[in-house]
Chains A and B, each alone.
Chain A
Amino acid sequence: AQSVTQLGSHVSVSEGALVLLRCNYSSSVPPYLFWYVQYPNQGLQLLLKYTTGATLVKGINGFEAEFKKSETSFHLTKPSAHMSDAAEYFCAVGFMDTGRRALTFGSGTRLQVQP
C-alpha cells in the first residue's frame, strides 16, 4: 500500500524567505504526485503535479517541486514567501492503474508567514 509522510505539521517563515515543505512517499510502483493547498473553510486547490517526464515541476503562485526517485521525495519550494501563502498544504500520491485511482494524502503542513 502507498503512503505519504509530511515532515512538520507546522512551518513558520518570514515574508520573503524560502518556503520548503517536505513530502516523502512509499510506493511499490511509479507514482503520480500532487501538492494541494487548502485555505480556511475551503476545498483543495491543485498547486502542481508530477506524472512523467521532467522531475522539476512548476506550479501556480510561484511554487515548484522536484521528484527525487532515489530519495522517494517530492518537496515543495517557493523562493520568496508571501503573506497570501499562509494555508494548509497537502502532498498526495496517486496511480493511473485502473484499480487504484484514489489519492492518498499526507496529514498536511500548516504554513505560517510572518510579516
Chain B
Amino acid sequence: DAGVTQSPTHLIKTRGQQVTLRCSPKSGHDTVSWYQQALGQGPQFIFQYYEEEERQRGNFPDRFSGHQFPNYSSELNVNALLLGDSALYLCASSRQGVARNEQFFGPGTRLTVL
C-alpha cells in the first residue's frame, strides 16, 4: 500500500514566479490537507480539500490556492512567490468520518525561492 506521495521532491524558483505542488493521498483516503513548515518551525495549516472543495483554510493569503481532482489527488499552487515562501510543504491525507482526524503525511516538497 503506497502511502502519501508528493512531487517534486525539491524545487527552486525565483521571486514572482508561480509553482504547483502535487499530492496523491493514501489509498482509501478522500481528504487532503496542506501544511507549510518553515525551517525550525512546526507545520502550519494552509487548507483542506474534500469532495473537490476547499473545506477549511488557515491564515494564508489568496496567493495560495489549491485543487482536488476526482481521484482525490490534490495540487497546491502558489503565485507571486516571495522569499518567505521558502519552506517544506507537507501534504496529509485522511478519511472523513474515520479514525479521529488521524492524518498521514507525505515526505514533503522542499521549495526554495531565490
Contacts and interface: CB of A to CB of B under 8 A. Distances in A.
A44 B37 CA distance: 11
Contacts of A44: 43, 90, 92, 105
A92 B100 CA distance: 13
Contacts of B56: 99-102
Interface stretch (A12-20, A58-66, A75-83, A105-113): A105-113
Contacts of B102: 34, 46, 49
Nearest to A49: B102
A100 B57 CA distance: 10
Query: Contact size class for A?
Result: 20 to 34
B16 interface: no
Contacts of B65: none
Contacts of B68: none
B71 interface: no
A43 B106 contact: yes
Nearest to B101: A94
By CB atoms of chain A within 10 A, which of B94, B103, B104 has the most? B103
8 contacts: A43-B4, A43-B106, A43-B108, A46-B102, A49-B102, A94-B103, A103-B101, A108-B41
Interface of B: 4, 31, 33, 35, 40-45, 48, 55-56, 58, 90, 92, 94, 100-108, 110
Q: Which 6 residue pairs are nearest across A and B when measured between Cβ atoms? A: A105-B42, A102-B45, A51-B100, A44-B105, A43-B105, A94-B101
